[in-house]
Amino acid sequence: MSFARRALAVVAAAATALALAGMPAQATDIPPPDTVVTSRNVTHVLNVPKPTPIAGTINTDIAFQGGYAFVGNYGGFSIYDIKNPKKTKVVSSVVCPGAQMDVSVYGDLLFGAVDASRSDDSCNSTSQSAAVKESWEGVRIFDISDKANPRYIKSVETNCGSHTLTVVPGKGPDKKRNVYVYVSSYSPSATFPDCQPPHDKISVIKVPLKNAAAAELAATPVVFPDGGNETQPGLLLPTSGCHDITVYAEKDIAAGACMGDGVLFDISDRLNPRITARTTDPNFAFWHSATFNNDATKVVFTDELGGGGAATCNETVGPNRGADAIFDIKRGQLVFKSYFKLPRHQDDTENCVAHNGSLIPVKGRDIMVQAWYMGGVSIWDFTDSARPREIGYFDRGPRSDGSGGGIWSAYYYNGYIYAADFNEGLDVVQIKDKLTDGAKHVRMDDLNVQTQESYGGGHRH
């Protein structure tokens, strides 16, 4: 082993020991630029660079179906064959620009969120101000029955576009006929004809499963009839809608990360979600996303402090801002228990923020994998809501050119963790640990992280 490799091994071992002991790493433990480090129980299996057609734009969200992963990108999306995760390869790429291309899949359909005002709804559109009435933003729908040749079939325009989207199956007999899409959007302006304030609502698209081309805007329920949190000091933006919604359809509930508010919804009426619990937090700047535990007795909310462009995982910011907040759900209300934040300090040049993650399906425990932009991937246990702890990680050192980036989303699917990096492409990671080994008994047919389904000790449909 060369001196450089020995030095790196020492750095990685030291950072691992500190992290697993629950102690913050110091500046001297920050990995060398562009270098991958992992905890002892984590392996970096593979990196697949971004496909050439969309190599110049950043990767975002991921959805899964069968042996495929669907990776969103500001320039469109790509489909990866993950039947053998160690040989993950690109099947196809669709060039269809429009930030931020949050993706979900359902049957033969892929839904892509467009929150960037465009000249029209086509894949050949160009950027155009939302002040122009004819501009378009919303949801694009693709037929993915042929993975090598996805086909664009329909668009639905929504007020203020679609920053994120959430697929919601119908109820009872309706489940075989329709699927619904909850569209989260925000940042209204009196100068935007199709995005007027106060915009305290979401949009609901109804998609007939036998004729997706007939998809249409079905409802725009006002979820904050009396207004949201708009005056709290330190908010990134006042509440004007939601940033992201996670549904637990079989339980008729949802959790909304709504800018200045964290909320619970009753979604028993799919077209009229209704807030049943609401909370704020003086340490939160921007309620970004939400994750239930498997039995829906807890919810984890993330805070996107700095909007994703700032170094918020350093010693200066501290452990309680830019963190995850863990809430127990007691008698239908949200009861704060603790914060979780990376125990490994990041360099002041690294944009680091709590971002997209998913449960690792271990029966009887609450474990998440989560992306932190340039903070990498953290695997953490919140079985004890008051004492969460990191049990593993995957990270890269600062970028040698001083630029930003990092991992947008990191999700567990059928034995492996898939992480979409802004610049580096798709990383395949694996954890082998006694706390997570039980997850190997749960096999999933598909996964949209914002559409949670229960898991047990066996196969999950």
Taking the domains of the chain in order of start, what are their residue ranges? 3-447
Query: Residue 45, exposed/middle/buried by CB under 10 A (0-12, 13-18, 19+)?
Result: middle
Establish whether the linkage from the previous residue to 198 is cis, with ω within 30° of 0.
Answer: yes
Query: Residue 27, exposed/middle/buried by CB under 10 A (0-12, 13-18, 19+)?
Result: exposed
Distances (CA, A) of 360 to 153, 158, 357, 384: 34, 33, 10, 16
Res 20: pLDDT: 42
- Which tokens sit at 183? 């569209």
Q: Are 195 and 189 in contact (CB under 8 A)?
A: yes
Per-residue pLDDT of 14-42, as tens digits, reads 444 444 434 344 445 789 999 999 999 99
Q: What pairing do the DSSP bridges indicate for beta strands 109-118 and 42-48? A: unpaired
Query: Residue 400, exposed/middle/buried by CB under 10 A (0-12, 13-18, 19+)?
Result: exposed
The strand order across the sheet containing 425-431 reads 42-48, 425-431, 416-421, 407-413
User: Cα–Cα–Cα angle for 112, 354, 399, nearest 5°?
Assistant: 90
pTM score of the predicted model: 0.93
User: Chain-wide mean pLDDT for the chain?
Assistant: 93
Distances (CA, A) of 126 to 53, 94, 99, 105, 137: 17, 16, 12, 25, 11
Determine the 3-state secondary structure of 354 from DSSP: coil
Proportion of the chain above pLDDT 90, given as a percent:
92
3-447: CATH number: 2.130.10.10
Backbone angles phi, psi at 195, to 5 degrees: -150, 65
For residue 92, pLDDT over 90 is answered with yes
Give the Cα separation of 261 and 282 in Å (integer).
Answer: 11
Per-residue pLDDT of 323-382, as tens digits, reads 999 999 999 999 999 999 999 999 999 999 999 999 999 999 999 999 999 999 999 999
- Report DSSP letters for 404-422, one per residue: ---EEEEEEETTEEEEEET
For residue 429, pLDDT over 80 is answered with yes
Q: End-to-end distance of the chain based on CA atoms, in angstroms?
A: 46
